[in-house]
């Protein structure tokens, strides 16, 4: 039996994560009501549906897909509270990313206080530097020393640079840095996987590469984006199915199931208007019977024509809805 998180110290974080941080972790969109308030009931329903009906192992809360950039500090803490209360701390990784380090640490300490097992911290924008390595090492050391729970790094071109595999491996020497969401080309994250070994659980957000990464790189974690709840229903859990087949070593069957999702992937991408990822994903959620809701500025809503195109694509994609929540 795995020890309860309260008994795990900062120095045990890597071993704890290696055992427990695995499977399919989805990045939550935050449903907002027309007046801009968080749809708390809808968020709870989504979380419960994802875990209970879709078999999702954990949820990344209030990241970029969750529109954290449009939320107050109190609202971000509230989404943390809702998620931990609804699905438990062992199934949550709470995004503490911010340009202000004091905010990062305040959110991180709140996450620990309410019982979450993990936080994620995006590499900060450092457009005024050309050599960021020592700055980033000191940055993550400061976060690491502020909390005992597991920390996931997140490197993405949005920062204006990418953390090198060599730097990530150095940061992974910190005792409670346990994982990374590494939004880089495959050859780059494969190199980090080899460099870091058991010190760092490496993952990326590409669902299309997930199966190959299980088979070829021995990955244990999908961390994370929205396909786990946009490409599945309670009666059509093909991402869950191909993941489980791959973990069991049945790679041939896993590839057949994975490839069977291609029409869903293509319909989703084909119907997505440029610059409207959040609104499009939320409308797709509504077609699945989930709480999608409005976006907040600076994000843009779909036009009526864009909604109609999305609906047509959704209806033709082949997702099995019988027995699932009724489409909007």
192-203 exposure pattern, b = at least 16 Cβ within 10 A, e = fewer: bbebbeebbbbb
Instruction: Return the SS3 of 32.
Output: strand
Evaluate if residue 4 carries a pLDDT over 60. Answer: no
Place of tokens 């994250």: 189
Helix axes 251-260, 238-247, angle to 10 degrees: 160
Instruction: Return the SS3 of 139.
Output: helix
What pLDDT does residue 127 have?
85
What pLDDT does residue 224 have?
87
Instruction: Return the SS3 of 245.
Output: helix
Per-residue pLDDT tens over the stretch 180-229:
999 999 999 999 999 999 999 999 999 999 999 999 999 999 998 999 99
Going from the C-alpha of 17 to that of each of 23, 105, 176, 254, 306, the distances in angstroms are 12, 21, 9, 25, 41
Per the CB < 8 A criterion, the answer to whether 120 and 152 are in contact is yes
The DSSP code for 2 is P
pLDDT band at 323 (very low <50, low <70, confident <90, very high): low
Going from the C-alpha of 95 to that of each of 60, 109, 281, 284, the distances in angstroms are 7, 12, 20, 23
Percent of the chain with pLDDT over 90: 93
Residue 272 to residue 300: CA distance in whole angstroms: 13
Evaluate if residue 325 carries a pLDDT over 80. Answer: no
Cα 71 to chain center, whole Å? 18
The DSSP code for 299 is S
Residue 31 to residue 28: CA distance in whole angstroms: 9
Quote helix, strand, coil % in the chain, to nearest 5: 50, 10, 35
DSSP one-letter string for 69-129: GGS-HHHHHHHHHHHHHHH-GGGEEEE---SSHHHHHHHHHHHHHTT-SEEEEEPPP-TT-
Evaluate if residue 14 carries a pLDDT over 90. Answer: yes
- Rg for the chain (alpha carbons), in Å? 19
Residue 65 to residue 86: CA distance in whole angstroms: 20
pTM: 0.94
The DSSP code for 261 is T
Mean of the per-residue pLDDT values of the chain: 95
Per-residue pLDDT tens over the stretch 81-131:
999 999 999 999 999 999 999 999 999 999 999 999 999 999 999 988 889
Evaluate if residue 328 carries a pLDDT over 50. Answer: no
Range 159-181 average pLDDT: 97
What pLDDT does residue 84 have?
98
What pLDDT does residue 160 have?
92
Going from the C-alpha of 187 to that of each of 137, 164, 190, the distances in angstroms are 23, 12, 5
């Amino acid at each position: 039996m795995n020890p309860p998180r309260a008994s795990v110290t900062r120095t045990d974080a890597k071993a704890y994560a290696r055992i427990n941080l695995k499977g399919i972790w989805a990045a939550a969109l935050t449903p907002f009501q027309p007046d801009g308030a968080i749809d708390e009931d809808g968020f709870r329903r989504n979380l419960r549906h994802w875990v209970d009906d879709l078999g999702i192992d954990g949820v990344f809360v209030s990241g970029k897909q969750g529109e954290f950039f449009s939320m107050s500090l109190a609202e971000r803490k509230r989404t943390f509270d809702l998620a931990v209360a609804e699905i438990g701390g062992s199934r949550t990784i709470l995004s503490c990313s911010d340009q202000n380090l004091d905010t990062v640490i305040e959110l991180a300490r709140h996450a620990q206080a309410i019982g979450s097992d993990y936080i994620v911290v995006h590499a900060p924008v450092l457009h005024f530097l050309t050599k960021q390595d020592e700055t980033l090492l000191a940055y993550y050391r400061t976060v690491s020393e502020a909390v005992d729970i597991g920390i996931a790094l997140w490197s993405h071109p949005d920062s204006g640079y990418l953390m090198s595999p060599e730097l990530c491996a150095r940061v992974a020497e910190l005792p409670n840095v346990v994982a990374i969401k590494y939004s880089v080309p495959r050859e780059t994250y494969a190199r980090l996987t080899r460099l870091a070994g058991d010190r760092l659980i490496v993952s990326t957000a590409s669902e299309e590469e997930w199966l190959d990464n299980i088979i070829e790189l021995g990955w244990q974690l999908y961390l994370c984006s929205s396909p786990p709840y946009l490409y599945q229903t309670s009666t059509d859990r093909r991402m869950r199915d191909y993941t489980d087949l791959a973990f069991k070593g049945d790679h041939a069957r896993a590839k057949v199931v994975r490839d069977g999702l291609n029409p869903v992937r293509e319909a989703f991408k084909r119907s997505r208007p440029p610059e409207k990822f959040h609104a499009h994903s939320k409308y797709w959620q509504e077609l699945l019977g989930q709480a999608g809701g409005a976006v907040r500025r600076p994000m843009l809503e779909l036009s009526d024509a864009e909604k109609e195109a999305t609906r047509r694509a959704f209806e033709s994609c082949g997702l099995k809805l019988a027995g699932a929540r009724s489409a909007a």
